[in-house]
Structure 1
Amino acid sequence: MKFRKGRGRVEPEINFIPLIDVLLVILIFLMATTTYSKFAELKINLPTAEAEKQVEQTKTIQIAVSANGQYAINSETAVFGSPDEFAVLLRRAAAGDPEPMIVINADAQASHQAVVNVMEAARTAGYGKLTFATQTAGK
């Protein structure tokens, strides 16, 4: 039953232009009515101190370890037989300072045991502040 003779069937098509217009209006509406808020940040008021910072001058003990295992405390050669004897020399060099800074200047070719001897003597003497001196590659 074809009621229309001679005409072919016309496919319906969807016109997207009005759809795009409506979406554009909705987008403009959303942009105009949206409020942009920052995330809540944690606001902290830090306390202030009125006192001046005290400069703490701790005594430094320079310990040099040569490549052949010789030791020097503050540029004076130190001879000892055990870490306990070396600890006595460290206490003498500290001159009563309870916690001096011990700076170990070890040669790059010094044995690991030589440096460990210094660390053990510092532990025996009760000194916990140890640091190692290095030099930059340019020097």
Structure 2
Amino acid sequence: MAGGGGGAEGDPEFQIAPMIDVLLVLLIFFMSIATTAVSRYDPSIELPVAPDANKKEDSEGELVFNVAWKAQTQSAVTTFEEHAVNLDDVVSTLIARKKADPKVRVLVRSDGLTPVRYVSAVVEAAAKAGISDVTFATLSR
């Protein structure tokens, strides 16, 4: 009777090159995801402190607005998707996002010293787009 398989004597060798290729692809994938998630948040914003703040569940479907207060010029700069925006111009984008995902929500990240009129302008833009789920980022020190 003839023995089946292989033809070579000894243990088969493990092929490491395909494994390295797969690991490199996964590494690149996760690095690209991590940089887009982190870049949505402006690190220069000093969030207000709220001792009773709750930690958010997830950030899926979240549209992040950063409102940075510039004390030198006594004005605020609002950014959305890493670009400074005029809130009247962004309403159409918010409407499109709401149509694509009805569970979309707005996250407002603002300096603690920013006057409320700049923050309420973001809330008004969300309301014009039909987005009623608006949250505010705070620290719970």
Alignment TM-score, normalising by the size of structure 1: 0.49
Larger Rg belongs to: 1
- Which structure is richer in relative contact order (CA contacts within 8 A, separation 6 or more)? 2
Higher relative helix content: 2
Alignment TM-score, normalising by the size of structure 2: 0.48
